[in-house]
Structure 1
Amino acid sequence: MAIAQCPSCSKSISSKHTECPHCGVEIGKISDDELRRITARNRIKKQQSIMNYSFLALILFLGGFLYLYWHHPVEGSIEMYAAKSAIGIGMVWYLINRVILVILKKKK
């Protein structure tokens, strides 16, 4: 008995299972065409999730920038550090997500 991954939900299951206990897909009866569809669907879900993270990172970046622009916090204050941290974290997080998206698109 070995541990395998379900092609549909990617959770760990026993290699002796004929049906995934998590999602109910019959593993032994999956055709190649169905397996390709499931793989494509999972890839699209992952890309959409990364896109959502990119938007959150962009909102964080813009929130910090707009706070600096509108409120003009005093240099050295907690507000200044928080705004600059939000800008830095948002920018790095956004760039990392974009790189991950490019890698996922090239994997096709």
Structure 2
Amino acid sequence: MKKCAIFVTALLLIWQTAWAAVPKAGDPAPGFSLTSVDGQQVSLSDFKGKVVLVGMFHICVPCMNQAMEFEKVRKELGDKVAIIGINTSGDSKDKVVDYLSQFPNKVDFPYLLDPNHTV
């Protein structure tokens, strides 16, 4: 009986997770608001009506390379796309600013901090 109860509990947990409000392809992105390294509040809704490319970055060389590629896309497409970079590893503002200063070229898209891993 105990094994059956554990199985049913596990099944319910899996079922609940499967039906959680997880966005699917084509769904609108959930709204969020974060602070940039420049201290400005940036919300996804600020870019309503635009195609938004969101990069979720850590402090690492592959992420730096990806940010440089995003910057190329921003320059190529201009106002056709909005790009947002988000530090998702919870690094401090000072560490992120130091990291950004090491980029071979400056990125001209908002770079946001997510210290609580909410996005």
Q: Give the TM-score band, short-chain normalised.
A: under 0.3
Normalised by the length of structure 2, the TM-score is 0.25
Indicate the structure (1 or 2) with the bigger Cα radius of gyration.
1
Structure that is richer in helix per residue: 1
Which gives a bigger RCO, structure 1 or 2 (Cα 8 Å, sep 6+)? 2
Normalised by the length of structure 1, the TM-score is 0.27
